[in-house]
């Protein structure tokens, strides 16, 4: 993806209130100076733009070499829907999609997965919001493999936090190595803070020098080794 597209995505997250700086605790228990909450995308215009960013990242990395988008419940559900629309409208790729329930349904159509019935050999791209330690992906892969003998074609997230996974590697690099699939992001946290450092958006400097130094210190403490 171009640097200008990445910069537009960073500004988009800030304006939507999705990317914030302060004091937070991640799911893995780490005290972090930044937080990405995709639950704050709440308008049709937000989802339309978000789908276009995801679709561009997927096509840029994978081309058309995939069959199905999979969205882990719950935040992955709107992500695969809007991304599939953007792929069709912007890239003429009519991709199927599916997602899972948190609990298996024992009536009606039953089962755990909704949408495209997975078949052996289909190439599946997992569309997730953010992954810190890779926990949700470790839960998702067995779910997909149980449904069919699918091929893991890739994992895309909005922001690569560039943190250690279960070892020394960056979580995305660890997932890529563990499952043999490309794992990539629209932007990395380094690209985010470099883009925002000292720059005003709508009259407000989002990342001043103190904030920048806190993020850099956090990266030194928890940063994972690159691929």
Please tell me the distance from the alpha carbon of residue 187 to that of residue 52, in angstroms, as a whole number: 14
Helix residue spans in the chain (DSSP H): 3-15, 44-62, 76-91, 135-147, 171-179, 189-196, 209-222
Q: For 48-148, where are the E strands, in sequence order?
A: 68-71, 96-105, 111-115, 123-127, 130-131
Please tell me the distance from the alpha carbon of residue 124 to that of residue 68, in angstroms, as a whole number: 5
Domains in the chain (CATH in brackets) are 3-222 (3.40.50.2020)
Q: Which DSSP string do the residues of 68-83 spell out, in sequence order? A: EEEE-TTTHHHHHHHH
Q: Is the pLDDT of residue 216 over 90?
A: yes
Do residues 122 and 150 lie in contact, with contact meaning Cβ atoms separated by under 8 Å? yes
Do residues 165 and 133 lie in contact, with contact meaning Cβ atoms separated by under 8 Å? yes
Mean pLDDT, residues 169-196: 94
Element (H, E) at 25: strand 19-25
Phi, then psi, of 42 in degrees rounded to 5:
-140, 5
Structure confidence by residue, pLDDT tens digits, 89-108? 999 999 999 999 877 655 54
Tell me the pLDDT band of 168, cut-offs 50, 70 and 90.
confident
Rounded percentage of the chain residues whose pLDDT exceeds 90: 80
Q: Is the pLDDT of residue 156 over 90?
A: yes
Q: Is 89 helix (H, G, I), strand (E, B) or coil?
A: helix
Residue 104: what pLDDT? Answer: 63
Tell me the pLDDT band of 227, cut-offs 50, 70 and 90.
low
Residues 6+ apart with CB under 8 A from 185: 57, 156, 157, 158, 159, 160, 172
Please tell me the distance from the alpha carbon of residue 227 to that of residue 224, in angstroms, as a whole number: 9
Do residues 167 and 175 lie in contact, with contact meaning Cβ atoms separated by under 8 Å? no
- The residues that are catalytic are 105, 107
Mean pLDDT of the chain: 92
Do residues 97 and 78 lie in contact, with contact meaning Cβ atoms separated by under 8 Å? no
Q: What angle do CA 58, 164, 152 make, to 5 degrees?
A: 35
Do residues 129 and 157 lie in contact, with contact meaning Cβ atoms separated by under 8 Å? yes
Model confidence, pTM = 0.93
């Amino acid at each position: 993806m171009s640097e200008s597209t990445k910069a537009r995505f960073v500004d988009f997250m800030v304006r939507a209130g999705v990317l914030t700086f302060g004091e937070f605790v991640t799911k893995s228990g780490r005290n972090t100076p930044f937080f990405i909450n995709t639950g704050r995308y709440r308008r049709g215009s937000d989802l339309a733009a978000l789908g276009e960013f995801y679709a561009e990242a997927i096509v840029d990395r994978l081309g058309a070499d995939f069959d199905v988008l999979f969205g882990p419940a719950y935040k992955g559900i709107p992500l695969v829907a809007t991304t599939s629309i953007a792929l069709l409208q912007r890239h003429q790729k009519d991709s199927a999609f599916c997602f899972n329930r948190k609990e298996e349904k024992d009536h009606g159509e039953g089962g755990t997965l909704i949408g495209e019935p997975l078949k052996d050999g289909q190439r599946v791209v997992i569309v997730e919001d953010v992954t810190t330690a890779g926990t949700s992906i470790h839960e998702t892969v067995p779910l997909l493999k149980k449904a069919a003998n699918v091929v893991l074609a890739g994992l895309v997230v909005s922001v690569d936090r560039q943190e250690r996974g279960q070892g020394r590697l960056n979580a995305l690099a660890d997932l890529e190595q563990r499952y043999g699939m490309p794992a990539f992001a629209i932007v990395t946290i380094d690209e985010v803070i470099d883009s925002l450092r000292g720059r005003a958006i709508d009259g407000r400097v989002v990342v001043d020098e103190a904030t920048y130094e806190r993020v850099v210190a956090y990266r030194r403490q928890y940063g994972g080794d690159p691929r």
